[in-house]
Amino acid sequence: MEKLDDGEIEYTFANGNRFVGSVVNGAFHGKGTLFLAGGGAFVGEWADGKALSGAYTFDDGLAYAETAWDYCSEADRRFHCERVTHIPPAGMTLFANQPLPADGGENA
């Protein structure tokens, strides 16, 4: 990567990723946003070219969290975008916490 000019910049990498924010001594420093070419963005605080803190948001608007995801789970197996657009899960839905007997539950 080429050395960046200091100040507020908008820089597009060869792979299509784009950084908008502050540069000091040729490195990301201060507040900045890294937009990924495939979608999504990381908004954070940078020091000497390294992210210190921040948050990633997927292209569909879902904020990344390491824990407490309430989608793609036993409670709701749909993806976030399916929940936002009210698309029901595909196939039959099992409203029980135990699998049905092999005969489909007819003799239960």
DSSP conformation letters of 39-59: S-EEEEEEETTEEEEEEEE-T
Cα(9)–Cα(29) distance, rounded to whole angstroms?
A: 11
- 92: phi > 0 → left, psi -120 to 50 → alpha, else beta; which? beta
Cα(39)–Cα(73) distance, rounded to whole angstroms?
A: 24
pLDDT at 59: 85
pLDDT tens per residue across span 72-84: 666 676 776 677 7
Q: Give the pLDDT band of residue 22 (cuts 50, 70, 90).
A: very high
